[in-house]
Amino acid sequence: MKFSLDIPDFACPIRAYAPGRVTIGEETVTRSVVVLPDRLLPDWPPRRPEELTRERLLALAELEVEVLLIGTGERLRFPDPRALAELTARGVGVEVMDTPAACRTFNILATEGRRVAAALIIWKG
């Protein structure tokens, strides 16, 4: 699925998504990644939704974003609700969705100039 932005005003637009890969700017990524409007954090450890541990999720609070999108792969799968509540208590708005929806939502929020991050699990399954 290709996404279209006429002229992105941020460095890391998500251009396309397909099972097992996502294109960010001119780079195709095949491993889980955290995307911010100005940079990528490659090789994010979770490879499957079951690996979204409390520690991995809470580490994302250090990004100091207002909205954190968590893409859980082809299907929506919720991580531990206690970890999500801890993120919210730290002032981070959290949205969990499938990875294609997280990619689309990231582009919209980044275009609006929001402090957003998308933590994307890239896997087929």
Question: pLDDT per residue over 88-113, tens digit each?
Answer: 999 999 999 999 999 999 999 999 99
**What integer pLDDT is reported at residue 1 of this predicted model?**
58
Classified as helix, coil or strand, 51 is helix
With contact defined as beta carbons under 8 Å apart, do 118 and 35 qualify? yes
Is pLDDT at 79 greater than 60 in this prediction?
Answer: yes
24 token code pair: 């960010």
**Please, what are the domains in the chain?**
14-120 (3.40.1230.10)
**What integer pLDDT is reported at residue 123 of this predicted model?**
79
> Considering the chain, what is the average pLDDT of its residues?
92
Q: pTM for the whole thing?
A: 0.92
Q: How many angstroms separate the CA atoms of 47 and 43, rounded?
A: 9
Place 9 in a pLDDT band, splitting at 50, 70 and 90: confident
Residue 27 has a CB neighbour count (10 Å cut-off) of 12
Residues 6+ apart with CB under 8 A from 79: 49, 52, 57, 70, 72, 96
**What integer pLDDT is reported at residue 6 of this predicted model?**
56
